[in-house]
Structure 1
C-alpha cells in the first residue's frame, strides 16, 4: 500500500471538534495522531472549530479545547487563535463561502434547486418503501427543465440546493479498511444548503477541507459513513480527495462509548488528577498503534519519529487508566528534577511546610520513583516535611526504649560531618549502627520516627538528603530533647 505521506506535496492535517465541552480521551487521541503525523512529515496541524451546532455549544467551549491541547503540548499551527493562510477557522463564519461554493455547483449543473418540503419528501419516501422501490433519490425537482418554473417557486417557497448524484458505485480508499464502495442510489441527491440557507455538515466539511488544502483526514471510524458523500463533493469540484484514515473507537473502561454527554472524563480531569501530560500523550498515541520495536515508554520526540499510520490496528480499544498511570510514573522519573520540583510546588503549600526551591529539587531527585501521578506528592512527599509527631502512642513507645536515644545520638554524630548526598548518608548511618552496637531493627526505627514521625517510609539516606542538613540535625536534636523530657516524666 502506498504510504499516505507520499500522496501530498505537503502534509496538512486538521482536528475539527465542536466547542460543546472539554475534550475526552477519544477526541484527544484523534488530535494527537493528527499532530504527530503533521510533525513527522514537516507539515501543518490545523484546528478548525465546527461550531454550527449552536444549541449544544457551551460557554467557554473553545477555551476548554485550547486548554486541553496546550496541556498536551500539541498546540495547532493554524486555528482561531493562531490565524493562518486560510481564515476563518470557525465553520460558522465560513457560511458565505459555503453558499458561494454551492452557487458554483448550481451554475455548472452539478447541483439543482429543490423546493420540496421535508414532509413531502418523507411521504414520497414512505410510498417508495411500500412499493419496494429505491428511496435514495426523488427526481421531482432534479429533472425539471431549466425553462420551467417549479410550482414551489410560485408559492414563494425557499429552495434547498442538492447535488446530483448519479447511479453507480462511489468508491474511496481508507488506509485501514481498503477500498470501499456504495451505490449512488443509496446516497441519493445530497442536500448541500438547506432551504433556510444553512449549509449541511458534509458540504461544509468538504468545502473547508478543500479550501484549507487538507491532505490527510485522520478521524474516528464513526465518520466513515460521511466519507462517500464528501468524496462526491471533491469530485464535483474537480479536486482530488485527501487520504482518509478512519481510526478505531476508544471505549470507556469496561466497554461502552466515550461521550461528554455520558460523563466521560475530560482531558483536563486527568490533569487535575495529576497525570503527566507526556504520559497521556504517550498512552493515547499507542491506542491501536504500536512502535516497530514494541517499546511503550516513548518521549514525544520518539513518537514523532516513529509514528506510522500503516501500523494502526482496526480494533476498538478500551481505556486502561492503570497503564496510563504506569506511563505517568515513567515520565515523572524522566523529568529533570528542577522541572518536577516546579510541578510539585503547585500542589503543595510550600510556605506552610517551610520549603524552598532547593528542598523540592532534592525531594524530586530521590522521591520521584515513589510516585506515578503528580498528585502523589501530597501522600508520598509532603508528610516527610511536616514536623514529626513523636507524642503518639507508637512513637512514644518506640522512643522510650533506652536504645532509641543511643541510636539517635550516634546517627546525629555520624551525619554531622557527612557529605550530604543520599549514598554517603546511608553509608554513614550503617557505620553509626555498628558503632552503637545495635541491630538494624533497634537502630533504624527510632531514627526514622525522629525524622518523620512515621514507622515506615523511604530509605533514610534519601530522607535525610531531602530534608537537608540543617532540618535533619535539628529534628534529631529535638527528638533527643523529647526523650529527655519523657525520662523526666517517668522519674517524677
Structure 2
C-alpha cells in the first residue's frame, strides 16, 4: 500500500453532496483525509458537490459544515475559506466542466447524444430481456454533422456522452491494492446533461484536477466510479490522483448503516451528548487500527500513528456500545469546569436553569456523577435530585427496608433525622451519627443507608450516600426525610386490600 506520490505536494479533499446533514461516513472520510494531509504537511480541502440541483440546499450545506466543525475537522480551503483553487462549489464551476467537455468533443473523444429518456429506458429493458449488460447502445456515437443538425432542428436537447475505450481499466488502490475492470461492461457514459450541468463522474475529475488534488480517499461505493474516472483522466491527458477506498460501515447486525436503524448524522450524536473528542477517536477506529492495543487516542496521537497501511479492507462495524463506553472514558477525563460548561445546555434544556442554581451546587453535583454517566444528556436526570428543590415522584416502597415494615422504617427515619439534625455537616460526623442510630435500634447499617438514600434522592442508586447528602444540603435533606415519613404514614394507614 505504499504511495509513490507522497513526494509531490499532498492535497486531500472531502466532497460531500449537500442533500442531507453530516453523515458519520462523511465524517470518517474527512478525518482520514485530514490526518493524511496533516501528516505530510499538505492541505485539506472541503468542496461542495452540489451537482444535484434539485436535492441540494443551503441548509444541508450548513449542516455538513457545522458537523465537521463540531468535530474539529478544520479544512484549509472551502466555500467559507478562500483559497487559490476556488470556487469550492460545483454549481459555481460550470464553465470549467463545459470547457473540458467540449475539448473532448473537439478531439472526437465525446459526442452529443439526442436520445430521450424514454428511448434510453426502452434500450435498457431490451438489454435486460436479452440478458445483456444494460449499457447505452451508442446509437448517437457515429452520427454525421447533418444528422445532428436534423436532431437539433426537431428540438431535441443534447447531452454529452464520453466515448469509453474498450478493454481493461486498471489502477492501484492505496487500500485495496491493484484493481481492474473491463470497460466493455458499461459502454459510453454521460458526462454533461442537456441543462449544462455535469454528471458526478465528470465533475469530480475536472474538480480534482483543477484543484490539484493529489490523493482521493473515499468510501467503497466509489470503487466502480473510479474506473470511469480513470478513463476520463486518460482522455483529458491529465495525471490521475492516488485513490484509496475506505471500508464500508456496517451496523452490528452486519447490515449497511442507515437512518432506519439508529443515528447516522453527526448532529444526532452531538444532541445525544457525545463529545467531539470521543467521536473523532471512535471514527478513527472504524476501519483503521493502531499498532498497539490502545484505543483511547487524542488527535495528536492519531496524527503520529495513522497510516493507510493499517486501514482494513474489511467492513467496519459501527458499534454504539463501544462508542458509549469510549464517550464515558472521555467524560471522565475532562476537567470538572469543562464538563460543567459542556453539560449546561443539556441542563437548561431539561428545565434545570443553570443561571438560577448556585454554581457550586451544579459543580458538586456534576462532579459526583462524572464517574457514572456515559453521555452528557444523562446528566440532567442524574443530577435532578441535587438541583431541584422537590424530588420527582417515586415509589414509596423504596423507603421500606428489607424484612422491615413500613412502621419500622418510618420510625427509624424519624430517629435518623434527629441524629442528622444534631450532627456536624461533614461526611465523618454524618456517617458516625447514622451508624449509631442503626446500632441503637438493631438495624443493619446498609439497610438504614438504603432507605435514607431513597428518602433524600427518590432513587435506589446514587453516588456515595454521605457525599450525596452534603451536596443536597442540610435543609433539603431534613425536609425530604420529613416527606418520606409522611409517605410511610400513608402506607401504614392504607387499609389492606
Q: Same fold (TM over 0.5)?
A: yes
Q: Which residue of 2 is the match for residue 440 of structure 1? A: 445
- Mark the CA change 1:83 to 1:402 in structure 2 (over 3 Å): closer, same or farther: same
- Name which of 465, 479, 487 aligns with 1:460: 465
Shift of 1:338: 1.0
Task: Classify the secondary structure of the residue corresponding to 1:86.
Answer: coil
Across the aligned residues of Structure 1 and Structure 2, the Cα RMSD in angstroms comes to 3.8
Alpha-carbon contact 1:353-1:386 (below 8 Å) kept: no
What are the ranges of 5 or more consecutive residues in structure 2 without an aligned counterpart?
Answer: 401-405, 493-497
Deviations 1:460-489 (A, max 9, x none): 24314544xxxx222344467779999999
The 10-residue stretch of structure 1 (55-64 or 285-294) with the greater mean CA deviation from structure 2: 55-64
1 CA distance for matches of 2:75 and 2:407? 59
Shift of 1:149: 2.8
- Mark the CA change 1:137 to 1:274 in structure 2 (over 3 Å): closer, same or farther: closer
Counterpart check, 1:231 vs 2:227 = no
Alpha-carbon contact 1:400-1:486 (below 8 Å) kept: no
2 CA distance for matches of 1:255 and 1:335? 34
Shift of 1:224: 0.4
Q: Which residue of 1 is the match for residue 115 of structure 2? A: 117
Q: Which residue of 2 is the match for residue 27 of structure 1? A: 26
Q: Which residue of 1 is the match for residue 373 of structure 2? A: 371
1 CA distance for matches of 2:133 and 2:488? 98
Q: Which residue of 2 is the match for residue 286 of structure 1? A: 285
Deviations 1:319-342 (A, max 9, x none): 221111111111111111112112
Q: Which residue of 2 is the match for residue 52 of structure 1? A: 51
- Mark the CA change 1:231 to 1:412 in structure 2 (over 3 Å): closer, same or farther: farther
2 CA distance for matches of 1:352 and 1:124? 66
TM-score by length of 2: 0.81
Counterpart check, 1:12 vs 2:18 = no
Alpha-carbon contact 1:367-1:381 (below 8 Å) kept: yes
Alpha-carbon contact 1:24-1:258 (below 8 Å) kept: no
Q: Which residue of 2 is the match for residue 475 of structure 1? A: 476
1 CA distance for matches of 2:469 and 2:410? 23
Shift of 1:188: 3.4
- Mark the CA change 1:210 to 1:451 in structure 2 (over 3 Å): closer, same or farther: same
- Name which of 141, 147, 169 aligns with 1:151: 147
Alpha-carbon contact 1:66-1:75 (below 8 Å) kept: no
- Mark the CA change 1:323 to 1:124 in structure 2 (over 3 Å): closer, same or farther: closer
Residues matched between the structures, number: 473
Counterpart check, 1:386 vs 2:388 = yes
2 CA distance for matches of 1:38 and 1:172? 22
Following superposition of structure 1 onto structure 2, how do residues 266-277 of structure 1 map, counting pairs within 5 Å?
A: 266-277=265-276
Alpha-carbon contact 2:46-2:77 (below 8 Å) kept: yes
Shift of 1:80: 1.6
Task: Classify the secondary structure of the residue corresponding to 1:369.
Answer: coil
Deviations 1:390-448 (A, max 9, x none): 995754948965554554454455543x4xxxxxx3x4444445666735236534653
- Mark the CA change 1:215 to 1:29 in structure 2 (over 3 Å): closer, same or farther: same
2 CA distance for matches of 1:200 and 1:484? 74
2 CA distance for matches of 1:129 and 1:29? 37
Alpha-carbon contact 2:12-2:216 (below 8 Å) kept: yes
Task: Classify the secondary structure of the residue corresponding to 2:293.
Answer: coil
